[in-house]
Structure 1
Amino acid sequence: MQYGYPCMGKRSQRYLLRSWRVRALRSRGNTLKVLIDTSFLLPALGIDVEEEVKEAIKYFYDVEVYYTEVSVLEAMWKVMKIIPAEELKIVENGINAIRNTYMQIVPDGSSFYQAYLLYQKGHRDFIDDLLYAVSKQKGILFLTIDGEFINFLKSKEEDVSNVITPRKFVSMLEKKADKLAAQYLM
């Protein structure tokens, strides 16, 4: 008699556990805030991405997801190289979905200043520098697949406690959800 419902199939039990996880995460006011790298916007615009990005996106329902307009602009540069004009309706719908689903965060002058300093230290992707600076300033996690950037930050002895990879993100949410769901099942 798993989960107290003897007549439920395994599929229904998984759905019930998943809904308990969502309720547990949201009911406690423990909503995690995550600023996403441009890679996590690309699937909404019709661009294929790495499996680890797709897997992490599945867990976005558990967190508050933030993006910047700079990331949308960077994504559009990729769209212009890959997506043919006849498929631009997908891109338009994707941008609308991003804006309706995720929360926009606006970098202030301090974030631009910090990003400039990182750029001067040798990291030549100003958008990554800016996203990192925004996440530090706002005290939220920065989800990125850019291992090279993380290594650069470590080499310059920058604080990377706010930087998280997709694998770590998924693992962290699964552990947190399992712990909270177990409390609901008791």
Structure 2
Amino acid sequence: MRYSGRLRLLLDTTYILPALGIEVEGVEGVLEALQRLRRHRRVEVYYSCYSILEALWKLAKLSYDLEVVRRGLSLIEEDFGEVHPTLEGYLKALELRRRGFPDIIDLLLYATALTNGILFLTRDRRLYSFLSEEGEETGAILLEEDFLRGYA
């Protein structure tokens, strides 16, 4: 969604992991496009504390460089806005979990974007398909391939 002519995006955890030293296959194009859009002030990028939590879960299972993680977290906090779920967002995520989607973090990120009027940038087709099949709003999701097609 746009605000003041800018694209407003909540990043899925996938796009935050590289800043913390975790390699993710195939995200380079998205990260380059985001960097270019930010440089031209055409995008506002947001993160959620739930993505940080999910990233920490992943880091805890790996060998990591604490200094890289520190720099990455600082970069995320300085360069991106933090967005929080609304009450409606929490309830929406809970309801969708009850209806069968297994990943509560993805649901929290989706519901946060939806209830805050921003787009959730993700490569999670399974989430998109679930929402579509359930008759839920999918306009708050910007799939990676659509982002690349429109902004790369």
Shared fold (TM-score, shorter chain, > 0.5):
yes
User: Please, which of 19, 25, 29 is the counterpart of residue 55 of structure 1?
Assistant: 29
Q: Counterpart of 2:40?
A: none
What is the distance in 1 between the residues matched to 2:17 and 2:106?
A: 15
Q: 1:121 corresponds to which residue?
A: 99
* Counterpart in the other structure of 2:11: 36
Which residue in the other structure is 1:137 paired with? 115
Give matches, 1:62-77, under 5 Å. 62=37, 63-77=43-57
TM-score (structure 1 length as normaliser): 0.73
Q: Partners in 1 of 2:48 and 2:82 — Cα distance?
A: 6
**What do the CA deviations read for 1:91-110 (whole angstroms, capped 9, x no partner)?**
11101111111110011221
* 2:101 is the counterpart of 1:157: no
Deviation at 1:118, TM superposition (A): 0.5
Q: Distance in 2 between matches of 1:132 and 1:60?
A: 19
TM-superposition CA deviations, 1:137-182 (whole Å, max 9, x none)? 11111111111111111111111112111121122125xxxxxxxx
Partner of 1:90: 68
Compare the two structures and name the one with the higher strand fraction: 2
Q: TM-score, normalised by structure 2?
A: 0.89
- The 2-side partners of 1:88 and 1:108 are apart by 32
The structure carrying a bigger helix percent of its residues is 1
Kept in 1, the 8 Å contact 2:85–2:115? The answer is no
Larger Rg belongs to: 1
RMSD: 1.5
What secondary structure is seen at the aligned counterpart in 2 of 1:65? strand
Percent identity over paired residues: 36
In the alignment, is the contact (CA less than 8 A) between 1:56 and 1:167 conserved in 2?
no
Three-state SS of the structure 1 residue aligned to 2:84 is coil
Gaps of 5+ in 2: 38-42
Task: Write the distance in 2 (CA, Å) between the matches of 1:120 and 1:65.
Answer: 30
Alpha-carbon distance between aligned partners in 2 of 1:157 and 1:43, rounded to the nearest angstrom: 33
- Using the alignment, how far apart are the partners of 1:108 and 1:139 within structure 2? 11
Deviating beyond 3 angstroms after TM superposition, the runs of 4 or more aligned structure 1 residues are none
Query: Is the CA contact (8 Å cut-off) linking 2:86 and 2:116 kept in structure 1?
Result: no
Instruction: Tell me if the contact between 2:123 and 2:145 (Cα under 8 Å) persists in the aligned partners.
Output: no
SS at match of 2:61: helix
**Corresponding residue pairs, total:** 144
Letter in 1 for 2:129: N
